Amino acid sequence: MKLFFGFFIVLIPSFLFAQSYEKEYVTLFAWEVKQIDEFIERFNDSDDALIKEYNKEYQPKVVLTREKLLKSLFNASKTDWNYTEITSFVQQVITSNPPLLLDFNAENWYANVTCTVLWKGKPKTVLCKLKIMNLPDGSCKWVLSDVSAKFLLPKDANGKPLPIEQPQLPMPNNKLGSLNPMSHTNDFLNIDMVSENTKNLSNYIEPSAHYSDMMSAFIRQILNKNLKILQTNYISYVFCQIDGWKIEIQQFNRPTKNSGWLINKLIRIPS
């Protein structure tokens, strides 16, 4: 009997530690903003947000106001915040009638995706701007709307930029090939299809009557098979859906409640 109680007493600290660890893990998991979809849900104070479900089960007496949720979406480790502007932004969002919300399917937001590409056999870096495009059948997809890649701009002998003709995109032979609307959930792992599936390149490009010089050069290099997208390296999101503000969202992987996709830049846009 003494042996049994001794064994039981030894187990108690381990059991309590396991319980404490599990509770901490659940808390961190609930507060982490794991996807941009979850960021939008929390920003909008949606009842379906994971943090709301966690709060109902584990902290039912704690009131999660929209103000508290919005403030939790800012990168708390950043030291140069303008707290007056943050307060102004938060108050504008929570006091507006009707409420100010972010919309996944609306315009005025995009993903900045830094990619490694192979250009004429040499590794280069390209910044790709991706947007959500709504389709006539009610579905949507991600499309490439612009790029930043100065190395693609041709120059004359004196180093002056040469004019670039607008590209002629081929008619797709398979309209199903595209960057599906959930591509962001795996960090645009399938973005290499933009350069792989050249016959259906127009499926991956935002339609435009006039592309920028860099975008034109980028498309032409893909069609000429001089450029191949290899992988994504870094992603950020920019929302301009709140009147007078531009917010940039970046991912922070750390073992704290303030982690995941968080606002790292808040810029007031002059009216």
With contact defined as beta carbons under 8 Å apart, do 187 and 234 qualify? no
pTM: 0.89
- pLDDT confidence of residue 23: 61
Which helix H or strand E contains 232, and what residues bound it?
strand 227-239
pLDDT digits (tens, 9 = 90+) for 153-206: 988 888 888 889 999 998 988 877 899 999 999 999 999 999 999 999 999 999
* 100 vs 93: CA distance, rounded Å: 5
Q: What is the largest CA-CA distance in the chain?
A: 93
Q: Cβ atoms within 10 A of the Cβ of 211, count?
A: 22
- pLDDT confidence of residue 7: 47
- pLDDT confidence of residue 161: 81
Give all strands of the β-sheet with 140-148 in edge-to-edge order.
Answer: 140-148, 122-134, 109-119, 227-239, 245-252, 260-268
Parts of the chain with a pLDDT under 50: 2, 4-5, 7-8, 11-12, 14-19, 21
**Strands 227-239 and 122-134, how do they pair?**
unpaired
Question: Per-residue DSSP letters for 104-167?
Answer: TTSSSEEEEEEEEEEETTEEEEEEEEEEEEE-TTS-EEEEEEEEE-GGGS-B-TTSPBPP-PPP
* 103 vs 106: CA distance, rounded Å: 5
* 271 vs 265: CA distance, rounded Å: 19
3-state secondary structure of 248: strand
